[in-house]
Structure 1
Amino acid sequence: MDPAEQLAFAARKAEQLAATLRQGRRPREVTVDPEVAACAAEIRQSILSMQQPVSAAVAADLVVGLSAFAKMRILHTDMLNSLRDLPRKTWMDLSMPILAEAVTSYAQFQLEDPEFNQYLSDLLVSRGVQRIGAAKLANLTYAAATLNLGAFEGVHSLFSAAFAGAEVGRLGTFDLSRTLWSLARLAPDVYESAPPWALKLSEALLRQKKPPFGYSLGQVLWALPRLGLVKDSETLWQKVKGKAGREAYAEKLRQADSSSQAELLRGLAENCEAAGLQAAVLNAAMLRAMAAEQNSAADQILQLMADRDLWTPVTYRLAARLGSSIKGSPAAPGLTSPGQRAHKYVRALYHALAKAKPGDAASAAAALESFSRSSKRAWLKFGAADEKGEVLEEAWKSLSQGQPRLALEFGTFLGYSATKMVRQLGRDSRVISFEMDPEVACLAMNFVELAGLSDVIDVRIGQCEDLVQQLKDELPPGSVDAVYMDHNQMTYHQDLSQLQESGLLSKEVLFAATQALKPGAPLLLWNLHEAQKAGIFSELDIVSSPDCGFKEMEDWTVLAKATTTRTRSLKRRQAVTTSKAPRELTLLAAECNLMRWRTAQGMVDEARWNEFVQYVRDGMQKFAGITSTRDYWPNQRWRDAARKHTYERLDY
């Protein structure tokens, strides 16, 4: 069969397989389907046999195949590389709907390729986007925002002008919400007053019978104030706040000052079903009220909790700090049961409330550890526990030197690692910790109070990118002495770059991160490796050890210490410029991201993770010459067993 015909046939077959997802087939079944593997092999063979350059018709078939694999959440290296290598003439000959589908499908893999993104931006600006329907335009705008094409000239103007003339009445709630977020993301600055196209989109959204919910609601609440639509944002909030989810509350809490956060948290508590979670959120509301010196509001929350019999050991601590006498307060120790159907995280906190000595950080941490080890279902992934925890504690302790330190933590979780940081850095130190899930953040605030560290650990709710921007207005330059990351490994390198550009890091900052191998942070490892070669970091230690709770699964803890060289100015040393990561490393990072998604879908078990971890390790060595610098294994046989695994890829 002619390679072009083979590609067309295989692409249509892939399209049919992807369509089975809409018919109720589970992603797990599709990913391991032998027909998908056969289809991927045919596409690969046709691409390798194809004469270059290909025609627009062949390129269109390539886009059909890529779109199908994007819908199945399966990476196909040859299709992605072929798309990247298409000559400009072929791109210009594609119909606008096909071009839009190509960009939309490519964006789903979140590959970090600034050069190709620049190329796509130039193509879109030169072609224009007026000749596609409103729904496809919304998808294309979201893809452009995902790829951060707003960094390139003309892109935001292109899409805002397109929506100024688009029939937005045909868009539903979901598309309108994503479009507002996308245009706010693409905008070079925050709007003081709303432009006409933003008013048009916002009015269409507010007219919808069903308001946005979940992640989309959080996105639009982030976008509207940035587009100069503060009033519309408040109108939407009043409409949805009774049923708003965690994502929406996270964004409202980030925007609010401490005096407003207490009231927002009271609203969040009303959305919580489990009594234990409701009590924890109300305790967090009380902490925020006390921080804002709103003692009367704190007393009202105490009375509400007494009326509902929701006092916990943390509530008693807060009542004592307030010096409050509440009518009908429950008898000590109060609520120590999380309630029926409580999430594992809530049960973990209440285990600590029942077992730990109040005000004793070591006792509180030990209680969380004992819960995590009590059963397989109770296991909690603490990045700073076990061998990895020992590596981190040693590094933090070496930094203290009897001086107060300021540390930033990305990913609070239940507050376990933040308390460990304070114990090693010293009681006079301070930790600012970021957590995007407001319910988890409230659990952490309760745990921190139980540990007696609320005065030195500041838990902040919201997206890390936005919170770092806020810190620039609060902290003097060079004030951050330590950074610890254990959140989304795919954004480690971006978050570190933002910190470096902010000027917040001290001359001798210590950077630490776990899970660099599982699920993997290839681009962070590359950037740190290049930064060390440039003299920005004087020390880079990649420590191999068992992953927490898995004695034969490998993970890497990364430690990087900034150089003290005086010949470089602080500003120059923090403006990191690294060489471009190898294409293979970018694709490896995309595979790591897909594995995270598949795990959430229940598609990846412990055995496959063991195999994938070694695949990432081998890839880092092969494509970047990066590997662990030392071992921290209690048993070398465990290490040797972990490194014998071979991965059978789910991607192609």
Structure 2
Amino acid sequence: MALVLRQPFALRLGVRFRLVELRAPLAAGPAGSAHRGAAALASCGLGVGCRLTRLTRLARPRRRQVATRRDPMEAGFQAAANLAANLAANLAADARKTAEVTLDPATARCAEELQAALEKLPRSLAMAEDLTLALGAFSRMKILHRGLLDALKDLPRELWLKLGPGTFVQAVAAYASFQLEDAEFNQVLAELIVTRGLKLRGPELASLGFAAASLGLGRFEEVAPSLAEAYGEVDLRSLSAYDLSRSCWSLARLADTTNSATAAASAKRLGQAALAQAKRGKLFGLSLSQVLWALHRFGLEEEAEKLWQEAQGRAGRDAFGEKLRQSSGDSARLLLRMAENCESPGLKAAVLNAAALKSEPKAAEAILRQMADQELWTPVTYRLADRLKSQVQGAPPAPGLREAGRGSHKYVRALYSALSRAQPGDATSALKALERFSQSSPRAWLKFGAADEKGKVLEEAWRSVKAPKATALEFGTFLGYSAVKLARSLPNSRVVTLEMDPEVACLAMNFIEFAGLSHAIDVRIGQCEDLVDQLSEELTPGSIDVVYMDHNQMTYHHDLAQLQQSRLLAPEVLFAATQGLKPGAPLLLWHLAQAQKAGLWADVEFVSCPDCGLKLMEDWVVLARGGATRSLKRSGGIVSPAPRELQLLAAECNLMRWRTTRGLVDETRWNQFVQYVRRSVEHFGLTSTRHAWPDEKNRVAARRLQYTRLDY
């Protein structure tokens, strides 16, 4: 069967996950959730802060009995697969920490035994089943094994068709967790899904649908209708709240939401089941966010509102973020509701200040009165009151609350450190105060991509923009540090900055107001992909003069492609991004270099700098300028797909980000890893074009470092 690519949706419905940033969530614990659209790859375990998401909660295949095998090689492969499953099971049961399993010599021996067997083992149904078991285990351990991935891709079609339904789902879901962008193999998987049919149990259908959506298989015509029909027939009683939310998200991701009655009917059915789960108190947080996003995509606003009214009391940060994105003029009310859930007084005050900033004067006055009653006025509140000429008596007395409160998250403490040490209305003073907090101790360290040497390179580039009243678009607001630098570098400019975490966005709004730049900087809350769609309806074509990315490097090239297709970019746009080398954006580097050769960019630079003041940590600032002979919109079909080696490298980069959140990657290992990334991309002709190191000896020393891989 030959599947047809639906060209209009090939780019937009491609997988674009909002995975890991090295920023932990503000609420309890270091691991939160993130999504692209409404939570992409909640299963890969790769997400963060942008947040940490979990990829598919794969049903674990049963370990197979070794004794029944006659062929020694076959039996050895089976034993190694069982060992991998045991290692993953110990990790899943929290019997061992991630670092222990990843660094365990038994894991390395297991990986080596699997590879040795794969090189000689004939392909058979038993081998395919053990391969699925092993790959699923390495997926759960967050370890990339190239041999397993290559073997899965090379399985003959007849073996794929012989796999049992559960094993087939396991194989596709495990593969999807690594987010490889292999269009050829994706077409094979799409054809197999359609050919095999979808007579699956509810949880299996949820896992397969999520994997298909994550891989962007909705671009193949038969996949979305088949899954939409299956979701319309599945026994809803077999789906947990987790499965329901993934199913809703997957259906909206896969289907043409504007022209599919079957998909819309299935989405409505799933939404009604989600409402029932919410009434039992089982739908909240990321899962609620996914369903709200999906219902909104299908235009099922009544169902979405019923769900929100039922679940908002326990909604969680992710769901509030999605509602804030959808809101038009109602953001202040939502922020007031969100503030009720803030345990830290410092965070609560920041959210209330943000609500006042989003309100009309009369409503803002009421919020100031509420904050005075609760003694939550901060230096930001006093600035707001002064601008509003408020008659409310502030409390506590000026300058107001300058301590974040006991147990506050590091980001909240960073904001209040700046409020207590900087001069109100002085952007330079505010920036330096954040830098001092970050440098005060290892535990206080914050990753500001626009600081130190990288900041100098960026500011020089931004100041070179000639547009008299430039519009800049930033991906990843964080605490507002780089947005303030952008606005300061571009006089009379407008900066639109996008942040997925509503609490972090509120902290940024406070910092920006304190720095005196609220009039120039517009903070938008939500997923970047959705917000860019909104901006394309709001702004005129060619209106964006500067783009800066410092969010999730795995999606840089997709986000840039979306901007190019939106027609928002000015002909001479300046594109800038950090993290080119650390943790690494090899797919962006490839796409920019290829596009420059095709005449889409006039100039592309990869500037080598020390990262965040660390003397042996190399990163690349990526700069690209428009003004070339071809329209930037014409990237599709001109830029060739990235080689598989770069796709695998990108997956390793993403895994390293995740491992950092687990305490697996210290400064020394990062120093070594980025040199591994550099050498890997240089193999494809992607080299730094200039250097910006204060001490050239450090660059030379850094480039001598060698990395011992954690993947295989």
TM-score normalized by structure 1? Answer: 0.95
Match of 2:666 in 1: 605
Residue 392 (str. 1) matches residue 458 (str. 2):
yes
Match of 1:423 in 2: 488
Match of 1:37 in 2: 108
Match of residue 248, structure 1, among 310, 319, 335: 319
Correspondence 1:541-556 to 2 at 5 A: 541-556=605-620
Match of 1:639 in 2: 699
The SS at the match of 1:351 is: helix
Q: Is the 8 A contact 2:564 2:632 kept in 1?
A: no
Deviation, 1:366, is 1.3
Deviation, 1:191, is 6.8
Match of 1:264 in 2: 334
- Counterpart-to-counterpart distance in 1, 2:337 and 2:259: 29
Match of 1:3 in 2: 73
Name the stretch that deviates more: 144-153 or 322-331: 322-331
Match of 2:690 in 1: 630
Deviation, 1:626, is 0.8
In structure 2, give the amino acid aligned to 1:175: D
Match of 1:410 in 2: 475
In structure 2, give the amino acid aligned to 1:648: T
- Counterpart-to-counterpart distance in 2, 1:487 and 1:571: 23
Deviation, 1:640, is 2.0
Q: Is the 8 A contact 2:600 2:632 kept in 1?
A: no
| 1:230-256 deviation line (CA, Å, top 9, x unaligned) | 222222212222222111111000000
The SS at the match of 2:469 is: coil
Deviation, 1:571, is 4.4
Deviation, 1:563, is 2.8
Q: Is the 8 A contact 1:437 1:462 kept in 2?
A: yes
| 1:426-453 deviation line (CA, Å, top 9, x unaligned) | 1x11100000011110011011111111
Match of 1:68 in 2: 137
Q: Is the 8 A contact 1:211 1:240 kept in 2?
A: no
Match of 1:534 in 2: 598
Match of 1:235 in 2: 306
Q: Is the 8 A contact 2:377 2:394 kept in 1?
A: no
Q: Is the 8 A contact 2:599 2:628 kept in 1?
A: no
C-alpha change, 1:115 and 1:192, in structure 2 (3 Å) is closer
Aligned residues: 638
Q: Determine which structure has the larger helix proportion and give its number.
A: 1
- Counterpart-to-counterpart distance in 2, 1:165 and 1:402: 56
Match of 1:114 in 2: 183
Name the stretch that deviates more: 350-359 or 503-512: 350-359
- Counterpart-to-counterpart distance in 2, 1:269 and 1:23: 35
- Counterpart-to-counterpart distance in 2, 1:158 and 1:89: 21
Match of 1:207 in 2: 276
Match of residue 323, structure 1, among 386, 389, 392: 389
Residue 585 (str. 1) matches residue 642 (str. 2):
no
In structure 2, give the amino acid aligned to 1:508: E
| 1:534-588 deviation line (CA, Å, top 9, x unaligned) | 11111111111111031211111110111343xx35644x657311111110000
- Counterpart-to-counterpart distance in 2, 1:417 and 1:207: 43
In structure 2, give the amino acid aligned to 1:541: E
Q: Is the 8 A contact 1:191 1:226 kept in 2?
A: no
Residue 334 (str. 1) matches residue 405 (str. 2):
no
Q: Is the 8 A contact 1:500 1:575 kept in 2?
A: no
- Counterpart-to-counterpart distance in 1, 2:230 and 2:582: 42
- Counterpart-to-counterpart distance in 1, 2:544 and 2:553: 21
Q: Is the 8 A contact 2:626 2:632 kept in 1?
A: no
TM-score normalized by structure 2? Answer: 0.87
Deviation, 1:90, is 2.2
Deviation, 1:601, is 1.7
Correspondence 1:297-446 to 2 at 5 A: 297-327=363-393, 329-399=395-465, 401=466, 403-426=468-491, 428-446=492-510
Correspondence 1:481-630 to 2 at 5 A: 481-565=545-629, 568-569=630-631, 571-572=633-634, 575=636, 577-622=638-683, 624-630=684-690
- Counterpart-to-counterpart distance in 2, 1:569 and 1:376: 46
| 1:449-507 deviation line (CA, Å, top 9, x unaligned) | 11111111000000000000000100111111110000001111110010011110010
Name the stretch that deviates more: 15-24 or 300-309: 15-24
- Counterpart-to-counterpart distance in 1, 2:622 and 2:393: 52
| 1:247-291 deviation line (CA, Å, top 9, x unaligned) | 11110000001x3000000111111111111111111000101xx
| 1:85-114 deviation line (CA, Å, top 9, x unaligned) | 122222222222222111011011111112
C-alpha change, 1:497 and 1:176, in structure 2 (3 Å) is same
- Counterpart-to-counterpart distance in 2, 1:475 and 1:609: 40
- Counterpart-to-counterpart distance in 2, 1:416 and 1:146: 32
Unaligned stretches of 5+ in structure 2?
1-70
In structure 2, give the amino acid aligned to 1:597: W
| 1:397-451 deviation line (CA, Å, top 9, x unaligned) | 111x36110110000011111111111111x111000000111100110111111
- Counterpart-to-counterpart distance in 2, 1:447 and 1:22: 40
Of all paired residues, the percent bearing the same amino acid is: 58
The SS at the match of 2:358 is: helix
C-alpha change, 1:586 and 1:361, in structure 2 (3 Å) is same
The SS at the match of 1:207 is: helix
In structure 1, give the amino acid aligned to 2:638: T
- Counterpart-to-counterpart distance in 2, 1:576 and 1:528: 14
In structure 2, give the amino acid aligned to 1:183: L
| 1:37-89 deviation line (CA, Å, top 9, x unaligned) | 111111101111134xx222222221111111111111110110111112222
Q: Is the 8 A contact 1:478 1:507 kept in 2?
A: yes
Name the stretch that deviates more: 484-493 or 352-361: 352-361
- Counterpart-to-counterpart distance in 1, 2:385 and 2:434: 24
Match of 1:454 in 2: 518
| 1:206-239 deviation line (CA, Å, top 9, x unaligned) | 2222332222221111112223432222222122
The SS at the match of 2:313 is: coil
| 1:332-379 deviation line (CA, Å, top 9, x unaligned) | 111111111111111111111112121111111111111111222211
Q: Is the 8 A contact 1:539 1:560 kept in 2?
A: yes
- Counterpart-to-counterpart distance in 2, 1:347 and 1:328: 22
Q: Is the 8 A contact 1:191 1:227 kept in 2?
A: no
